[in-house]
Amino acid sequence: MIFAANLKCNHTRASFKIYADVLNKTMGVKCDDIIVFPPSIAFLESQTNFIQGAQNFYPCINGAFTGELGKEHLDEFGIKCVLIGHSERRILGDETLIKAKFDFAKEHNYKIVFCIGEDLKTKNSGKTLEFLKSQLDIIDLNYKNLIIAYEPIYSIGTGVSADIKDISSVLEYLTTLSQAPLLYGGSVNENNIKEILSIENCGGVLVGSAALKVENFIKLIKG
């Protein structure tokens, strides 16, 4: 199972160093199935027993792109895993370069956690699967380092996870499009994680607020 934590706009370098130290000690050895996406200001240069990923980047090595992070900056911290397409970035209008980001990350053999998800209006219209397919049509679904994270927008940060039957239906459909590991994200917590992970075709979770404290993230990992 893959356990990924998106810390969003939380943690400083100092607090994330403490977070990483605790997680490193708990893991004991390197585990490629544990991924943590800290804010870029908190990237650590030291080796970790988990994969450190970037929440955002610009598809360039470097250049005249004010406020952006290029490959050169990620390389400095040994980062080879990126999050692309998260709905919170799509809403901000910052994911207009999704295909360019994907193609760049693929070119440089990054592990990619690619987020898809529908809003409540789309769900209620019965067009969820059609909408999700449209989000995936622009990327290479056969890319060997791809992980797909299904995160219904109406469940992100609301404390209300999607219905188990809906998650199961979506994940089953996604297996017809790609062989990539499939994660579920959206108000995952210690009360629902076991049921979510028991869903057929669920290969793990992408956790937000429930992973902000390292002790809570470890509880989720240990089950």
Report the C-alpha gap between 49 and 214 in whole angstroms: 14
Single out the catalytic residue among 73, 95, 151, 215: 151
Q: What letter represents residue 100's amino acid? A: A
Active site residue 86: yes
Q: Is 11 a catalytic residue?
A: no
Tokens of 220: 């989720």
3 state SS of 132: helix
Task: For residue 15, give the H/E element and its range.
Answer: helix 13-27
Q: Which of 11, 86, 88, 118 is catalytic?
A: 86
Three state DSSP letters for 183-209: EEECCCCCCCHHHHHCCCCCCEEEECH
Give the residue numbers annotated as catalytic, written as ranges.
86, 151
